[in-house]
């Protein structure tokens, strides 16, 4: 019997797959537990429509993230911090600080966990930070750390 899986069933199929399974397995286990439904023409067309809608949504998200990556690549973010001796910062600049500054200056809401820093920034200067936006879309953001007293 051909069935469309509604949920993931381990070692059998993932949700949305159409598979041929033994009749008894389908009638006695999969269908009563709402794990699968018989693969009729109507169900197949609904599944195809859902698949196309999902692909379209993924393409829109990817285009949006590519646009954001372009914006970040052109941007030079300036963060002002207090410094002590030898231009060392009091504290450090972390991914959360960069995300907060991006929100305040550019209006871009980026999750702090997507900002990759090998270690927090603890001195003045220009740094290049990688921002992971989506699957394989990364952006290089230039971050300049200045003293609060500088213009």
- pLDDT, averaged in runs of 10, over the chain (151 residues): 92 90 94 92 88 93 92 91 85 92 90 91 92 90 88 59
Looking at residue 151, its pLDDT comes to 59
Domains of the chain: 2-61 (3.40.5.10), 65-147 (3.10.430.100)
Distance (Å, whole) CA 126 – CA 132: 20
The answer, as to whether pTM is greater than 0.85, is no
E strands, 23-136, where?
36-38, 76-81, 88-93, 115-116, 121-123, 125-134
């Amino acid at each position: 019997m051909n069935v469309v899986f509604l949920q993931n069933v381990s070692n059998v199929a993932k949700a949305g797959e159409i598979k041929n399974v033994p009749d008894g397995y389908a009638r006695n286990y999969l269908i009563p537990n709402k794990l699968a439904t018989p693969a009729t023409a109507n169900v197949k067309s609904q599944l195809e429509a859902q698949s196309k809608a999902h692909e379209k949504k993924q393409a829109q998200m990817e285009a949006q993230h590519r646009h954001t990556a372009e914006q970040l690549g052109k941007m030079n973010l300036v963060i002002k911090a207090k410094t002590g001796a030898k231009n060392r910062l009091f504290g450090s600049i972390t991914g959360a600080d960069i995300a907060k500054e991006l929100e305040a200056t550019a209006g871009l809401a980026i999750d702090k966990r997507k900002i990759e820093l090998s270690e927090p920034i603890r001195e003045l200067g220009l740094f290049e930070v990688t921002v992971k936006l989506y699957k394989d879309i990364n952006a290089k953001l230039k971050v300049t750390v200045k003293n609060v007293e500088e213009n």
